[in-house]
Chain A
Amino acid sequence: MYYFSVVGEELKFLNNSDIRLKVLVDLVDGPLKIRDINRKSLLSYSSISSNIHKLCDEGYVEKIHNSFQLTNLGLIYITLLMDFRDVISTITNNSDFWLDHDISSLTIDDLNKLSSLEGSELIRCNSMDIYKTHKEFKRLFKNSKQLKVIFPYLHPEYPKLIRRLVLKGISVELIVSRDILDGFIRDIGNDVVKKGIYEGNFSIKYLNDDIKIALAISNEFITVGLFKLDGTYDQNRLLLSNRKKAISWGLTIFDSYDESALTLVLD
């Protein structure tokens, strides 16, 4: 509330006018004359002129010769507003992924970097393809060169997939909840688990606490799955991205789970 009381008025001023935001966005790439802004934005001369002078008065834009450019404050405000826009569009574009789902597994730091997921694709099952998320998951797994996965649930096909990857020499790091650890090891195969660990391309760790996120990260993609508020895993929705920023967002989450996870000790 305190921070809002400091910056709220300025944000209101900028967001009260679509034209002001458009002008700031246009100036991000460098100084422009009013004529150039008019061509880029199709706004009228008079609208641009009156708003650009208001932006000058408030310290967001300055006039240099016949051109206008962002001040430091203008650049900082519009950079942060564009970042906020990316977060909001990540949330609204995938509204039913985020709505009514348990997001308690994400820390404030993870939430603060949610714009990293901008441009993600929501894979959703439908009546013609009720296993769409599952198929997509398998497809991505098969083509991976290295994998880091947090599994909060056990699906009979996943241990088999992991088994194949480990035997192919692909690097796989798994984190699972304690409840499903034994089942996973059994289904991957004790011998394969031991071989993978011995050869250094496989590790499996576990957490005693409930895990409320399904996360798979490879060199090329990240997928995120969440639990519904009723406590069941939502098998019908999977968020997928192949962007570097999103992969790095996922790796940070994986690393934080990895730090608190316990290493499996084999006999």
Chain B
Amino acid sequence: MFNEDDSINRSDDFITVRFLLASKMRPLLLLLLSDMEYDLNAFREELDKPSASILHGLKELERINLIKKNFKRYSLSSKGVLCSASLKKLFMDLYIFEMNRDFWLNHSIESIPRDSFRNTYLLKDSVFVESDEHNLSKSFTKYLELLSNCGNMEIILPIFLEEHLEIILENLENGDNLLLITNDEVLSSLRNSKYYGDLADFSKKGQVIIRKVDYDLKVFLTICDEFMSLSLFFKDGLFDNSCFILNEHSDGIKWAKALFEKFFEKSVRVI
């Protein structure tokens, strides 16, 4: 039933990973050296650690050719530059999850392809817009406000909301475009709504494209020139309208566009 070698082989090559990450000193030294050369005194001042532990860490890194020593000054080898850059990426990739552990534990991520987690360093400047007891619709109001200044829109829509559609139509009136990916359920609600005729008209003018996927959508993603927003469903299947991830930086928008592309590839045009 099981390939017994599988787990052993897949874990064996974690040796260097563990060497780098099971210590606090080794990654710290690599990170410091990625910015400039250091001598022992400078390390001591920066880290506030005894010379012995610093020297021990340096020797270990030198042993596997990640750093080199020249006249008492330490610097990264080219291999060390690569390791240090990968470490930085790993820390930045994990940052958004570590800062909001409960959010990620409580929400469904099944719709997000695993590949997308490999570049979450692009989301490091995101903020979580959350409603609170003083204003239960804070996050939704903020989202609609952002949407109304959106410009061209790319949206993955797993829910049907009238207020949302009204703003989208206003944007379309102003000459903006919409590329929408949704599912059968939302599409059916759209078709039965008073908004469908207008959307169809804008589609004839080339401003609207609607596509659909055949599987359950569990992400609500909006991408404009200025921002991306991402809302998720709770693990019990209910949509969480009390919180969304907002990123107003080009990196965040880049991440969202890559995610959108993955859904786009699996969608078919309906309008």
Which A residues form the contact surface with B (CB < 8 A)? 1, 3-4, 6-8, 10-12, 14-16, 18, 21-22, 25-26, 36, 39-42, 59, 71-73, 75-77, 79-81, 83-85, 87-89, 91-92, 95, 98-103, 108, 111-112, 114-115, 229
Contact = CB atoms under 8 A, between A and B. Distances in A.
Interface stretch (B22-30, B135-143, B175-183): B22-30
Nearest to A71: B105
B10 A25 contact: yes
B194 interface: no
Given A79-B117, A114-B82, A3 B18 contact: no
Nearest to B103: A72
A-B pairs, 7 with minimum CB distance: A3-B91, A15-B21, A111-B85, A15-B22, A41-B7, A7-B94, A40-B7
A98 B97 contact: no
A26 B86 CA distance: 24
B92 A98 contact: no
The winner among B6, B21, B27 for most chain A CB atoms within 10 A is: B21
Contact of A25 (B11, B18, B64, B118): B11
Contacts of A21: 11, 14, 18
A10 B90 CA distance: 12
B77 interface: yes
A80 B6 CA distance: 19
Contacts of B95: 3, 6-7
B8 A76 contact: no
Interface string B50-87: 00000000000000110000000000011101110111
A111 B90 contact: no
A72 B7 contact: no
Given A72-B105, A73-B104, A95-B79, A3 B117 contact: no
Contacts of B104: 72-73, 76
B88 interface: yes
Given A80-B118, A99-B78, A41 B94 contact: no
A201 B24 CA distance: 54
Contacts of B82: 87, 91, 98, 103, 111, 114
- The residue among A18, A84, A100 with the most chain B CB atoms within 10 A of its own CB is A84
Chain B interface main SS type? helix
Contacts of A114: 82, 85-86
A101 B79 CA distance: 8
A16 B14 contact: no
A4 B101 contact: no
Interface in B229-254: none
A12 B16 contact: no
A91 B65 CA distance: 11
Contacts of A103: 78, 81-82
Given A73-B105, A76-B117, A103-B81, A81 B17 contact: yes
Contact of A101 (B11, B28, B78, B109): B78
A92 B79 CA distance: 8
A71 B106 CA distance: 9
A99 B118 CA distance: 25
Interface string B102-123: 0011010100001001111100
Nearest to B9: A25
A3 B79 CA distance: 22
A80 B107 contact: no
B98 interface: yes
A85 B90 CA distance: 10
Contacts of A91: 79, 82-83, 86
Contacts of A10: 94, 98
A98 B18 contact: no
B79 A88 contact: no
B247 to A, nearest CB: 16
A80 B88 CA distance: 12
Contacts of B24: 8, 12
A215 B98 CA distance: 38
Nearest to A102: B78
A3 B125 CA distance: 12
A12 to B, nearest CB: 6
A84 B11 contact: no
B78 A77 contact: no
A226 B204 CA distance: 53
A6 B78 contact: no
A39 B8 CA distance: 11
Given A12-B22, A79-B117, A89-B13, A99 B65 contact: yes
B20 interface: yes
Nearest to A62: B105
B78 A80 contact: no
Contacts of A100: 77-78
21 contacts: A3-B91, A4-B91, A6-B91, A6-B95, A6-B99, A7-B94, A8-B24, A10-B94, A18-B18, A73-B105, A75-B109, A76-B97, A80-B120, A81-B90, A88-B83, A89-B13, A92-B64, A95-B79, A98-B78, A112-B119, A114-B86
